[in-house]
Every structure is written in C-alpha cells, then in structure tokens.
A and B are shown apart, each in its own frame.
Chain A
C-alpha cells in the first residue's frame, strides 16, 4: 500500500494514468501537426537596379521632382539635340519637366523600376498584368478591357489606365534625376514583385546583393500560451549578383502579395553600381522563394520543410525538449517502481 505524501508514488500513478498518456500523445501529435501545417512568409532585402511590380490595392507614389514621358508612335526620323529628357524618337515632349508627380497606380498595373547607370531612377509602365501575373486580390474582372488577359501590342490596352494622372499609359516612363531621387521619400508598394532580371549579355540592370529569410508560424504558435503570435525564422540565405527573385504562392499557383518599399541606396554612387534598396515581406501562406539564374532552365525553388522547422524553430525545439524530459521522468518513475516492487517481493533485480 502506498504511503500518503510520497510524491514519487503520485507521479508514478500519474504516469500510468490513461489521461496523462493521452495528454502526452496529444502534445506529440500537436507538435508534428504544427511542423507540417505552417504559414510561411519570406523577407527579401536587396540592393538592385531592377524590379518589376504588379500592383494590388492602393499604391500612391509621390515624386517631388520628376518628369513623365508619354509614348508616341515611334519615329526614328525624329532628330534630337541630345539634352531632351524624353527621347523624341519614342516619346512626346513632356508637359512639365521636373515638377511634382503623384501617381495612384491601378490594380493590375505592371511597372519596371530601374536605376540607370548615371543614378537616375526610371519607372517604366509595362501595361496591364495578365491573370497569371497577378497576386490575389486583383483578378481580371469584367471591368477590365477585353485585352486585359492577353497583353496586346502598343496602344491596345483598351480603356485601361495604369495610373490616374499625367496621362500615363503603357510604355510611359517617369524619370527622377539622381539628386532628386535621393531627396524622394520611400516608395512603398503592395504588389507581386520580381527583384532583379535574369542577367544576360549586355545587362545593365540587375540585382547586386541581398539576403532572404523564411519566417513561419503555425496553429501551435496560436494556441500554445507561451508561444502566442510568434513568427520564427527557419531558414535564411544570401542573394548572389544577377539573381532574379520572386516569392510564389504554390498552393494558389500565382505570385504572392508582397509588402515592401524602395529607397535610395545609402552607398556612394561614385564608388558603386547605381541601384536602390528594396525590402519586402510576403503575406503568410503556402509560399516558396524562386531564384532564377542566367543559364538555368528552371528557377531554383526554396521551400523550408519539416527538417528546417525541427532544426531551427525555438518553439519546436522547446517542445521536443519538454517531451523528452517528460519521457525521461516517466521512464525513471516506471523503473523505480519496478525496482521497489521486485525488492519487496524478493525477486532479484534485472
């Protein structure tokens, strides 16, 4: 008969209790489920001279001093003096040079942001994104022109206006001089983004350097009290020069929505390649990082798995440690009880 007040006996009884065994089993299952059913987002930080954005939601950019060049039917016979902001072969003369430009981008508008070799920032309107290029929340709708899902040649985007001011249409450019760009504030965006361009012979716009992090959370993070609302970094890496980076929602088969901003690079332009800093974070989901490099047929895909979670997640490391500790305590209790029972009955210890 057990003596009252002996804690070992109490723990031993608890260990044998089906409720405790079920609770431990439940903890184990929860841990494994939490490792599999994760919501992941990617952080990308890059210094680059090229990025492509397909806007979703509200995106308003303000340039204190910029020039908008709107396209015309190309005319290679148009002469130029050499000091025009808008090349007369491709563009109409600007309405205003180096004035304030505020642009509210339409949902589905595609633009390329690039730094020219002299440090000027140039935003080129690429047109209207196809359905496959759009992130969630900006699907092709009945309101879009018929050509919306099949990008037509120059001037065939119907009534679609990529922006709400300055007569901006497809192939328009916004030019910001080097010194004005430094004085321009951040350009925030909510968009599907491709950072860098697959490098090739003659490429002058490309990703120069950067890094990425995979951060994730799971239902366990929401329901375990001490881990509430925690997002953990489970994998990270560097971005090499010339890479083209995109975050992809593989469950939905479309680009992930990114929240980010573009800012002038703090580097000295005289001693480094022209470029800008871009930082962006994807919305949580079933996301993967795609890295394209010149010469490779398919982009390399980075999608952290349960091994990365098991190795890098502090929460799961703690839970596994806790489970191991409980297992060890229960085993010790069981072995101690066995030994006491055999000592009492006179059986030789094994």
Chain B
C-alpha cells in the first residue's frame, strides 16, 4: 500500500520532477547567520524532513499538501546540529505562470521546491545526514506554529519522516503518531556536536494522508516532562 502510494505521488510528479511552483522567501533573501560559536536554540522541534541530506546539497523541497491555500504564509527554518548556522525566513507560495500548467487542479499534491538563496553555500554543502535540520511551519515565524509541512532533501516522497528534536538532554524521548498503536523510541543523533538538537525520531507514515497529530514524550530523571504536540500536514486526505 505504501509503495503504491509512493508510486502514485511519484507519477503525479512526473517521476520526481519538480513542478513550476515554489516557495520563495519574502523580499528574495533569507535571514541567516553563521557564527563562530553555537547559538542556543529554545525550540523543541528542530526539523521535520524526509531522506538524509546528501553532502553537496543545499536546497530542499516541501512535501506539499495541495489543500493548503496558495496565499498562506510559511516559516522556513534551517539549523545545523552544531548550532553554528541557523536561518529563519518567511516564505510564500509562488506559481510560475509561464510554465506549463501541470496542475490545473489546485488541490493536486506536489513536491514544491523551496528556493534557498544562501550566502553560506560551502558551509551547508559540508553538512550531511542529520547534521542539518529543515522545518516548514504554517504562519509567520513569530507565531512558532506547530503545524508543519514535511521538508524533503531528495525531491521525492518517502514512507518515513524524521523528526529532529531538541530534547533538552532528556534521558528518553518517545514519539507517537495520532491513532497509532506503536510508540517510537527516539535515538540520540550520531554527530560530533549536539547543540541545536540532539535526538531523532523515525516515523513510518504508512498510508496516512492529510493532517496527522504527533505527540512527543520526554523523560528526565525517569519522570515525564510535558508532552509536545504538533500537526503534520501531509498531502491528500
């Protein structure tokens, strides 16, 4: 079923090709910083993404839920695990009217390119796998929305999403998708320096579509910390 779902989406994309739609930063530039020492992050959710970032890659895509209004505002955040690099910019949906209209149907699910004009390309190209986290949330950056779109480092959908969490050095982190019987035990990320985030949770989407709730449980000193709840906005549904 999952394979079929992936094939359907891939077919809709033209075997992984990006559509003529993209997410573009307001004003054409992104707010980013590369520091000599780490910045302390206060967010629990650092990234929600598909695939591991390949070395040399910089840009990524959004696993676009077509049901979203095209006039929505989004906040795109990129942060390196070592806390040296972070970016936080407001984006909007842009449709290239000169390109062939692939999706007359506005609700079609697509992989939308996230335009990422970084000034720190060499630094980002050096990062790979879990060393960098991308998140795309609904609404302006100031609101810290917990409704997230999945970012993809390979421009193709996958059955598994990875949640990168700043657990605040919790002993154990668990994650559970809404209406799922299985709770996932998250693992510490295997990187040299863990400043911005420290834990990864791999979640099997199965055949889920549309908005899906996700709960994150942290345990410190064997005691539960407050539960963090987010909503994944998936295509379909």
A contact residues vs B (CB 8 Å cutoff): 73-76, 87, 89-90, 116-118, 122, 124, 153-154, 171, 173, 175, 197-198, 200-205, 292, 294-298
Contact = CB atoms under 8 A, between A and B. Distances in A.
A204 B220 contact: yes
Contacts of A73: 182-183
A265 B26 CA distance: 56
A118 B220 CA distance: 12
A89 B167 CA distance: 18
Q: How large is the interface on B (under 10, 10 to 19, 20 to 34, 35 or more residues)?
A: 35 or more
B93 interface: no
Given A87-B219, A154-B185, A205-B169, 13 more contacts: A74-B174, A76-B183, A122-B222, A124-B171, A153-B185, A171-B185, A198-B194, A200-B198, A204-B169, A292-B193, A295-B37, A295-B195, A297-B193
Given A73-B183, A74-B185, A171-B185, A202 B195 contact: no
Contacts of A294: 38, 195
B82 interface: yes
Interface of B: 37-38, 40-42, 82-84, 166-172, 174, 176, 182-185, 187, 192-195, 198, 202, 215, 217, 219-224
Pick the most buried of A87, A202, A204: most chain B CB atoms within 10 A of its CB.
A202
13 contacts: A76-B217, A89-B224, A90-B172, A153-B185, A154-B185, A173-B222, A200-B198, A202-B167, A203-B168, A294-B38, A294-B195, A296-B38, A297-B82
What 3 A-B pairs have minimum CB-CB distances, sorted nearest first?
A: A202-B168, A295-B38, A74-B183
A138 B194 CA distance: 27
A116 B215 contact: no
Given A171-B185, A201-B42, A90 B168 contact: no
A117 B176 contact: no
Contacts of B84: 297
B113 to A, nearest CB: 30
Contacts of A90: 172, 174, 219
Pick the most buried of B40, B174, B195: most chain A CB atoms within 10 A of its CB.
B195
Given A118-B221, A295-B38, A200 B168 contact: yes
